[in-house]
A and B are shown apart, each in its own frame.
Chain A
Amino acid sequence: MKVQKIAIYALSISLLFFVSLLQAQDLGPNFKKIKEGIYIYSAREADANSGIILTQEGVVLIDSGHNPPDSRAVLKAVRQLTSQPVRFLINTEPHSDHTTGHFLFSPPAIIIAHEGATDSMKKAYNPERSQKLMAESPEMRAAFEGYRMITPHIEYRQKMTLNVGERTFELFYLKNVHSEADTAIWLPKERVLFSAAVAGVKRFSNLRPFTTIPDTFNSLKMLKGLNPEIVVPGHGAPSTIKILDDMERYYGLLVERVGEMVRQGKSLEQIKKELRMPEHEDWEGKDRFPNNIEAAYRAVTK
């Protein structure tokens, strides 16, 4: 009798354990739970992250996924997590790997971005990109079903605060760091920062001609000042403030070395040929290194 009782206890405890384990993994291997009610999705390390944040008054998403199959995975996870609707979708940037999947959430979701995001999306829209993607696989084609470009409903200038139920989202404009409309999102109570494209994880950023390293330093300094516990970059695994520190150190070294070479009278072309960054040998995106040198050159010669 006693043995039976113990066996039942043991069975129920193991069942409970199994069920809780199942709940944690239910969403699939591409989801990470970083805090209570906050989940991050990306299918591959280098893909754009998408954030799911549950609140008492509905769901808030940060970016809609790298490509439509990712957006559908996010939508499925939202359905598993809650019966509440996606009320807001905040864009860290207007580029297609963060915005193509909007059509799956809006309407009814209200899309929020910094001023200039709509113009940027319209200007960059290239139907060939979608066609090329759709040709990749039947799954991709199916995921695109119903696609149309959905541009932001709210564009703010400089700073905005969104309160949804018990959570607060502070939106900060990051000037000249990556796109025409970069936004970092800060959850002060949870101390979680979505740092947008200001920093990659062991990865060189694509520094377009209008981006500047001094502005990037300013953004990094401002974001570090928030003292986040968790940093979710635009691309790459969520981690700590170390992501911002690493990026700041890299730009510091880059500007220092390019500056030294400029003082030695070297031309931009010479610097591009000669400059080495042995500390960052293991970083991805080496094809972007030349435009990083150009940005550093602009910073030291202007």
Chain B
Amino acid sequence: MKKFFFPAMMSAFLLLFSNYAQAITPEKPEFRKLADDIYAYIGKVNDANALVVVTSQGVVVIDTGNNQPETRNILKNIQAVTKQPVRFVIITQNHGDHIGGTPLFSPPATVIVHDRVAKDWKSWKPHLIKAWRKRFPERMEALKDFHPIDAVVSFSDRMTLNLGGKVIELIYVDDTYNPGDIAVWLPQSGVMHGGFAGYKERNETLEIKVEP
């Protein structure tokens, strides 16, 4: 049973990520356990998904929610399953519905992005930085003198995060439409956050199977 569970969940996760024209996710977001210490936050009505990995050395959040209420909801769900702080935020795609929740977690969380995303963040005009600091009113004091690049780790090809025994592999996926896209692979549980590579319209050859 367990043998089939993980591939099934992985495929389901990929499927859920493939925003088709019609909504394929329900009216309400869901915080679903995929494996031990691994949770998917499935955005409502095609909203961006997030993935949460809980470790004994802190929580890793992959993508940060479609908008501010969603980000707060992700944090609330994390706090319901662990007392660990969010230590890392990983960004799979440089779009507002994936990066916009970052200032709720960082600083102190370290943000991991691809080099091309870091290059973009570094070039932001003052009005974007100002908007970033103001996204969450409760965070304005903490972000007073903060530039979004100040807590960023970026990589060129591949990176492996090994936190509290949980292995998280980051893979650069070149995408013409979204410079700096990455996929996230959790080899111990067989869960993959496909990033935009899991978007059916961008990859017509992608076969999505949901095993019973």
Residues of A within 8 A of B (CB): 57, 107, 110, 115, 118, 151-166
> In the complex the two chains form, is B162's CB within 8 Å of A160's CB?
no
> In the complex the two chains form, is A164's CB within 8 Å of B151's CB?
yes
| Contact of A110 with B159 at beta-carbon distance under 8 Å, contacts A162-B153, A163-B152 already known | no
Closest to A111 in B: B162
Q: How far is the CA of A57 from the CA of B152 in the complex (A)?
A: 12
Interface centre among B57, B150, B152 (most CB of A within 10 A): B150
> In the complex the two chains form, is A160's CB within 8 Å of B151's CB?
no
> In the complex the two chains form, is B156's CB within 8 Å of A159's CB?
yes
Interface residues on B, range: 20 to 34
> In the complex the two chains form, is B115's CB within 8 Å of A165's CB?
no
B163 at the interface (CB under 8 A from A): yes
Q: How far is the CA of A93 from the CA of B74 in the complex (A)?
A: 38
| Contact pick for B162, options A107, A152, A156, A157, CB 8 Å | A152
Closest to A159 in B: B156
- How many residue pairs link A and B with beta carbons under 8 A? The number is 62
Q: How far is the CA of A160 from the CA of B154 in the complex (A)?
A: 6
| Contact pick for B157, options A57, A154, A159, CB 8 Å | A159
| Contact of A158 with B157 at beta-carbon distance under 8 Å, contacts A107-B57, A110-B110, A153-B163 already known | yes
> In the complex the two chains form, is A153's CB within 8 Å of B161's CB?
yes
Kindly list chain A residues whose C-beta atoms are within 8 Å of the C-beta of B115.
159, 161
> In the complex the two chains form, is B159's CB within 8 Å of A163's CB?
no
> In the complex the two chains form, is B158's CB within 8 Å of A163's CB?
no
| Contact pick for A163, options B150, B156, B162, CB 8 Å | B150
Closest to A161 in B: B154
| Smallest CB-CB A-B distances: 8 pairs | A157-B158, A159-B156, A157-B157, A155-B160, A161-B154, A163-B152, A160-B155, A156-B159
Kindly list chain B residues whose C-beta atoms are within 8 Å of the C-beta of A166.
150
B78 at the interface (CB under 8 A from A): no
Interface residues of B in 77-112 (CB under 8 A from A): 107, 110
Closest to B149 in A: A163
Q: Mark B156-175 against chain A: 1 for CB-CB distance below 8 A, else 0.
A: 11111111000000000000
Kindly list chain B residues whose C-beta atoms are within 8 Å of the C-beta of A152.
162
Q: How far is the CA of A163 from the CA of B119 in the complex (A)?
A: 12
Kindly list chain A residues whose C-beta atoms are within 8 Å of the C-beta of B157.
156-159
